[in-house]
């Protein structure tokens, strides 16, 4: 599944959202209301990443209707997250080989976990991340537009 970020063109949210959906994609977090996503700047208020992870069951209990998504920046953080069962792990700037490792572990022992690849994914490299459950990218907003020009010639 291809999901776009909220980094659309200014004043063009409605058009960009409709274009992504019409093209078969989805929107990763249409707004702050539809899920809970923890980034590094949220986790650093804890003593360490492991201490943050210990709170995931508390977050899930307090917000049972929301998906709890956590961004990780390396395999060590990914392994730590597995102990605490978030709904989605967003693998930020992972290589395709790292994504493969995450998928192998998930497929072996954590069938309900969703693996999302994010960070630096473009039209040129998205096929390398296609094995992940979700590719999160801003690329559809930055790849340019198609040429819809026409030319009339009189003979």
Domain ranges in the chain are: 2-142
Separation CA 116–CA 93 (nearest Å): 11
Predicted confidence at residue 6, as pLDDT, reads 72
Q: Summarize the confidence of residues 83-88 as an average pLDDT.
A: 94
DSSP per residue, 96-134: HHHHHHHHHHHHHH-TT-EEEEESS--TTTGGGGTTSSE
CATH number among 3.50.50.60, 3.30.559.30, 1.10.3720.10, 3.20.20.70, domain 2-142 = 3.20.20.70
Q: Summarize the confidence of residues 86-91 as an average pLDDT.
A: 95
Q: Summarize the confidence of residues 75-96 as an average pLDDT.
A: 95
- Model confidence pLDDT, tens digit, residues 38-47: 989 999 999 9
- Model confidence pLDDT, tens digit, residues 96-153: 999 999 999 999 999 899 999 999 888 889 899 999 999 988 777 777 666 667 788 8
Query: To the nearest whole number, what is the mean pLDDT of the chain?
Result: 87
Q: Is the pLDDT of residue 83 over 90?
A: yes
Band (pLDDT 50/70/90 cuts) for residue 75 is very high
Range of 1-5, 6-10, 13-17, 90-94 with top mean pLDDT:
90-94
Query: Which is more confidently placed, 30 or 73?
Result: 73
Predicted confidence at residue 122, as pLDDT, reads 85
Residue 140 tokens, joined: 């559809």
Residue 136 tokens, joined: 């999160």
Bridge partner list, 4: 27, 137
């Amino acid at each position: 599944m291809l999901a776009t970020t909220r980094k659309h063109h200014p004043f063009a949210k409605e058009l960009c959202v409709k274009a992504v959906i019409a093209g078969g994609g989805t929107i990763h977090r249409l707004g702050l209301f539809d899920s809970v996503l923890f980034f590094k700047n949220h986790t650093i208020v804890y003593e360490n990443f492991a201490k943050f992870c210990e709170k995931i069951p508390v977050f899930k209990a307090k917000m049972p209707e929301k998906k709890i998504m956590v961004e990780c920046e390396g395999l060590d953080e990914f392994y730590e997250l597995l102990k605490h069962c978030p709904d989605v792990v967003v693998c930020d700037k992972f290589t395709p080989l790292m994504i493969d490792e995450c998928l192998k572990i998930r497929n072996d022992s954590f069938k309900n976990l969703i693996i999302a690849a994010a960070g630096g994914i473009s039209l040129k490299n998205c096929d390398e991340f296609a094995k992940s459950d979700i590719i999160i990218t801003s690329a559809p907003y930055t790849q340019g537009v198609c040429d819809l020009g026409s030319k009339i010639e009189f003979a």
